[in-house]
Amino acid sequence: MPQKKKGGRRTGRRRAFEVLYGLTFAPVETMDDVRRLFKMTPERNEELEQNPDGNRSEFAWTLVSGVWSNTESIDETVTKFSQHWKIKRIARVELTILRLALYEMLHVDDVPLKVAINEAIELAKRFGDDNSKNFINGILDAVAKAIENGELRVR
C-alpha cells in the first residue's frame, strides 16, 4: 500500500513551530524581524518530496505572524486553562505548541477544533517529552469545551 502524503498544512505547522520555537530563544521587536527569521528557516527536503505542490509557506507564515501578533492574548488563555502553571514554568516546546494550536482554535476559521488539537498532539509526540502530549491535550481539550459552551470567544 503506498504511503499517504502528508498535507501541506501539517508541514506548514511544523515549519511554523520551528520558527516560533526559535523566537523563544531570540525574541524580536518587529514583524519585519519575524519575517526575516521565517525566511531564514528553510523547508526540509522530505517535506517538499511529500507535498511538492502544497502551500506550506503561505500557511506557515499565516500561523507564525498570527501567533506572534496575538501572543499576549494567547498566553492569557494558556494561563487561564493550565491550572496553576505560570507561563514561565511551561517548557518552551510545550508553550510553542500550545500557542500554535490556540491560535488556530481561536483565530483560524477553517480549522476544526479537533484538527487543531490532533495536530498539536502530533507535534508534541515529535518534539516533546513523554508527558508533553498529555499536558497539551488537557489544556486544549478544556479550551475546546469552553469554546463549544460559548464561554470563550473565538475568531
Amino acid at residue number 97 = I
pLDDT recorded at residue 104: 98
DSSP 76-140: HHHHHHSSS--GGGS-HHHHHHHHHHHHHHHH-TTS-HHHHHHHHHHHHHHHS-TTHHHHHHHHH
Q: Rounded mean pLDDT of 133-145?
A: 98
pLDDT recorded at residue 45: 44
pLDDT recorded at residue 119: 98
Cell readout for 51 is 507535498
Second CATH level (architecture) for the domain 8-148: Orthogonal Bundle (1.10)
Q: Rounded mean pLDDT of 118-136?
A: 97
* pTM across the whole model: 0.87
Angstrom distances, CA of residue 76 to CA of 25, 71, 85, 103, 148: 20, 9, 12, 12, 19
